[in-house]
Amino acid sequence: MTETTQTGGAAPGAATVAHSVVRLPPGLYFVATPIGAARDITLRGLDILASAEVLAAEDTRTLRHLLDIHGVALSGRPLLAYHEHSGAAVRPRLLGALAEGKSVAYASEAGTPLVADPGFQLGRAAIEAGFSVFAAPGPSAVLAALTVSGLPSDRFLFAGFPPATRAARKTWLREMKTVQATLIFYESPKRVGQMLIDLAETLGQERRAAVARELTKRFEEVRRGTLAELAAGFAGQAVKGEIVVLVDRAATIRAGAEEVEAALRERLVHLRVREAAAEVAEALGLPRREVYQMALRLEGER
């Protein structure tokens, strides 16, 4: 059966958005949904939501709203709530539907399921039971933020939400200090100011970074600068909305030798070798031992 529905109240002759009801092969379909702008859903994502025999969602109201916007009818199909608290109870029902040869579509509240959202355990259980698992890829705040950050995109580490308490967060951040990749964090607006201070203190004041807020929405904003500048900019500000924080990789001494040498020479005029090395390592987010070796060499040349 194929049904084509026009949505979006398009004027005659204007481009239209359409979805089709199709016969889906049995299996579990993870469908990415918008992180803001409702039209950021793929046509295939809509087809799957219009066609799956069983629907499940982290937030059923949000999914219903999205289906309404795009003119997708539920048509009596079951829509189950599958979230952090209901997962263990609802998973067997979804696996049961898969065992009956049905197609099951799952959407998290926003963005890509499994990315700081439920879905991993469901996907793993489906795979272990031998069912097919499919992705309908689409929006995710990680990639949207990386795209607009101006930071290197060749290699990145998505670290999710940092621990909420300061001591745990700083210990957790220290483990990432020398990672050679752009670091990407999700953070709540309440904590972003303190998070930027902690990032500057643990990874280095001078590291380049970006804060992406409310991407694809009305109050979208991207701030870019060093961690010290961003921390100062957010200090004492009440921030609202959804936020991604991105931090450039640690400079390697080889890559930034001139910068490190200049910083050391400046300090060696008035500091001992050990103190100068400690300050520079801290400011540039570099391994102390390597900076100390460089400082010793420069001191020997003086």
243 is an interface residue for ligand SAM by CB under 6 A: yes
116 is an interface residue for ligand SAM by CB under 6 A: yes
Token pair of 254 as six digits: 């080889």
Between 141 and 286, CB nearer to ligand SAM: 141
Find, among 158, 191, 197, the residue nearest to 176 by Cα: 158
The least CB distance from residue 60 to ligand SAM, in Å, is 16
The least CB distance from residue 119 to ligand SAM, in Å, is 9
Residue 6, C-beta contacts closer than 8 angstroms, at least 6 positions apart: 16, 17, 18, 71
Strands 243-247 and 182-187, by their bridges, are antiparallel
> DSSP label at 111?
B
Q: Is 1 exposed, middle or buried (0-12, 13-18, 19+ CB in 10 A)?
A: exposed
User: Which of the stretches 95-103, 170-178, 224-232, 241-249 binds ligand SAM when contact is defined by CB under 6 A?
Assistant: 241-249
Between 242 and 282, CB nearer to ligand SAM: 242
48 is an interface residue for ligand SAM by CB under 6 A: no
User: Which of the stretches 113-121, 146-154, 202-210, 268-276 binds ligand SAM when contact is defined by CB under 6 A?
Assistant: 113-121
58 is an interface residue for ligand SAM by CB under 6 A: no
141 is an interface residue for ligand SAM by CB under 6 A: yes
Instruction: Let me know: does 187 contact 265? Beta carbons within 8 Å.
Output: no
User: Which of the stretches 64-72, 139-147, 162-170, 197-205 binds ligand SAM when contact is defined by CB under 6 A?
Assistant: 139-147
214 is an interface residue for ligand SAM by CB under 6 A: yes
The least CB distance from residue 242 to ligand SAM, in Å, is 3
Find, among 206, 203, 198, 205, the residue nearest to 181 by Cα: 203
What distance in Å separates the CA atoms of residue 251 and residue 260, rounded to the nearest whole number?
A: 10
What distance in Å separates the CA atoms of residue 293 and residue 62, rounded to the nearest whole number?
A: 56
The least CB distance from residue 107 to ligand SAM, in Å, is 10
User: Which of the stretches 200-208, 209-217, 268-276, 280-288 binds ligand SAM when contact is defined by CB under 6 A?
Assistant: 209-217
How many of the chain's residues bind ligand SAM (CB under 6 A)?
A: 23
User: Which of the stretches 48-56, 91-99, 176-184, 207-215 binds ligand SAM when contact is defined by CB under 6 A?
Assistant: 207-215
Q: What residue ranges bind ligand SAM (CB under 6 A)? A: 35-36, 108, 110-112, 115-117, 140-142, 186-187, 212-217, 242-244
